Amino acid sequence: MEWVAGLLFLSVIVILLAGFPVAFTLGGTALIFAGIGILTGTFSGALLSSLPNRMFGLMTNQTLVAVPLFVFMGVTLQRARIAEELLETLSALFGSLRGGLGISVTLVGMLLAASTGIVGATVVTMGLLSLPTMLRRGYSPEISTGIICASGTLGQIIPPSIILVMLGDVMTSAYQQAQIEMGIYSARTVSVGDLFAGALIPGLLLVGLYVAYLMLVAHFRPAMMPPHEPGPDDKVGFLQVMHALVPPLGLILAVLGSILFGLATPTEAAGVGGMGALLIAVLRRQLSLERLQEIMRSTLRISSMVFMILISASIFSLVFRGYGGDDGVRAVLDSLPGGVVGAVMVVMLVMFLLGFVLDFIEITFIVVPIVGPVLLGMGLDPVWLGIMIAINLQTSFLTPPFGFALFYLRGVAPPEIKTAQIYRGVMPFVAIQLFALILIAIFPELVTWLPDKIYGP
């Protein structure tokens, strides 16, 4: 009955494209297929009896508790005008250099991405704050929109990121399942800390490649990124720079460092991050009762969306496996030419295309549990595979004509910015992303070296 599992997957994609909510589409479609299967005798209703245990397992999963805490941290820093102060300070600091403003926007995008981990929020915030300034200083619309979209998607890969937290939980289950199917019952585990450590070098590599590209453009095509003549109001002192940089950077380093060095679990570190963000907002007098209520409502909305999708994805995964979908996927990947390399390339291509129509959260909870155990059963490193998936989807979210980051920026960009200009602006960054993906595929040590050094092989 593997063809029914394939039909279930295609039905979910079609219904999502029709605009129905993701959380209800996944669970609802799966239950309809399960009901039809029970009536026709092709699906065992006993499988559904495990749903309560699955729901309870999600509720008691300590790793997933970090999700609302990291969301709270990101939303608080966003509402406390951290990004605005960072952008003003770094722009004044580097603005007189060739490409200085563009580099400043990239660095702020990196810090904001690390603190929020939400692509849409970062792109919209950077679009509202930095796009008018860049255009006013003579930057071309193409380079301006490209920088904002590219730096906004860094939230996919720069730790600490809620996306890596969710991917880490899914990869843990997939890795354990793959080892059990290989007859390894004392299964090794992969943690969120492993993914954070694995993502650090690739993330910084991407930022470095972005900055190098901007410096080349500023040097060879100065009309696209003209230097800014600083005025008396543009001068910043050492204390002003420290005031803007130290609190958010210190908070991010404290959260990430406590995880990497084993001082705290991701959930405990997320709690520290949430409290630290709250203290920063209080000390900067950016936290009123009304703003705190906004922060809590926003955190609740985002967290509820994530967990509703997670619950529905759990139902979908159960029904998909009940129809033998995992066996069908394994048979298809095993039959591909090129062995492991061919299987990885096909999976990456499928995920890249799905990234045009599905969000990272949906792909993480729908696709990764299906293909993850099969690929990991072929001997792939789980941390390397997780980072490859993250960067691949980050590239998908940048790629015209359907990249999510492009739609987010289009929604806040001035009317005089044409969609074609946004598309042209992101293409060099898409090429950089693909180059980084190829580098990591050829040199997996870029991902695996740091986790091995910290946690051992």
Q: Tell me what the pLDDT averaged over the chain comes to.
A: 83
Q: What is the dihedral of CA 270, 271, 276, 281, to 10 degrees?
A: 100
**Helix (H) / strand (E) containing 61:** none
When mean pLDDT is compared across 118-122, 348-352, 371-375, 394-398, the lowest value belongs to 118-122
User: What pLDDT does residue 187 have?
Assistant: 62
When mean pLDDT is compared across 142-146, 322-326, 447-451, the lowest value belongs to 322-326
CA 157 from centre of chain = 6
User: What pLDDT does residue 117 have?
Assistant: 60
| Predicted confidence (pLDDT) at residue 149 exceeds the cutoff of 80 | yes
User: What pLDDT does residue 383 have?
Assistant: 92
Q: Write the Ramachandran bin of 285: left for phi over 0, alpha for psi from -120 to 50, otherwise beta.
A: left
- The mean pLDDT value for 415-426 works out to 89
- The mean pLDDT value for 18-41 works out to 86
**pLDDT digit string, tens, across residues 225-283:** 887 666 656 666 778 778 888 888 888 888 888 888 888 888 888 888 889 888 988 88
User: What pLDDT does residue 432 have?
Assistant: 95
User: What pLDDT does residue 457 have?
Assistant: 63
CA atoms within 13 A on the CB side of 232: 0
Confidence band of 201 (pLDDT split at 50, 70, 90): very high
Q: Which of the given ranges, 8-22, 23-37, 42-56, 155-169, has the highest pLDDT on average?
A: 23-37
Please state the φ and ψ torsions of residue 173, each to the nearest 5 degrees: -65, -40
* Higher pLDDT pick, 227 / 441: 441
Cα–Cα distance measured from residue 19 to residue 21, given in angstroms and rounded to the nearest whole number: 7
Residue 355 three-state SS: coil
- The mean pLDDT value for 101-121 works out to 75
**pLDDT digit string, tens, across residues 371-386:** 888 888 888 899 999 9
Q: Of 29, 28, 24, which Cα lies nearest the Cα of 10?
A: 29
Give the number of other Cβ atoms within 10 Å of residue 59's Cβ. 11
| Predicted confidence (pLDDT) at residue 47 exceeds the cutoff of 90 | no
Cα–Cα distance measured from residue 398 to residue 217, given in angstroms and rounded to the nearest whole number: 20
Task: Give alpha helix (H) positions in 357-412.
Answer: 360-366, 368-377, 382-398, 404-412
Residue 341 CB contacts under 8 Å (≥ 6 apart), including other chains: none
| Predicted confidence (pLDDT) at residue 153 exceeds the cutoff of 80 | yes
**pLDDT digit string, tens, across residues 316-365:** 888 888 888 877 877 888 788 888 888 899 999 888 888 876 777 778 88
User: What pLDDT does residue 449 have?
Assistant: 93
* Higher pLDDT pick, 215 / 407: 215
Q: Is the dihedral of CA 135, 138, 139, 142 positive or negative?
A: positive
* Higher pLDDT pick, 210 / 156: 210
Q: Of 411, 311, 309, which Cα lies nearest the Cα of 358?
A: 309
User: What pLDDT does residue 274 have?
Assistant: 87
Residue type, position 305, single letter: M
Contact 303, 67 (CB under 8 A): yes
Cα–Cα distance measured from residue 352 to residue 50, given in angstroms and rounded to the nearest whole number: 32
| Predicted confidence (pLDDT) at residue 96 exceeds the cutoff of 80 | no
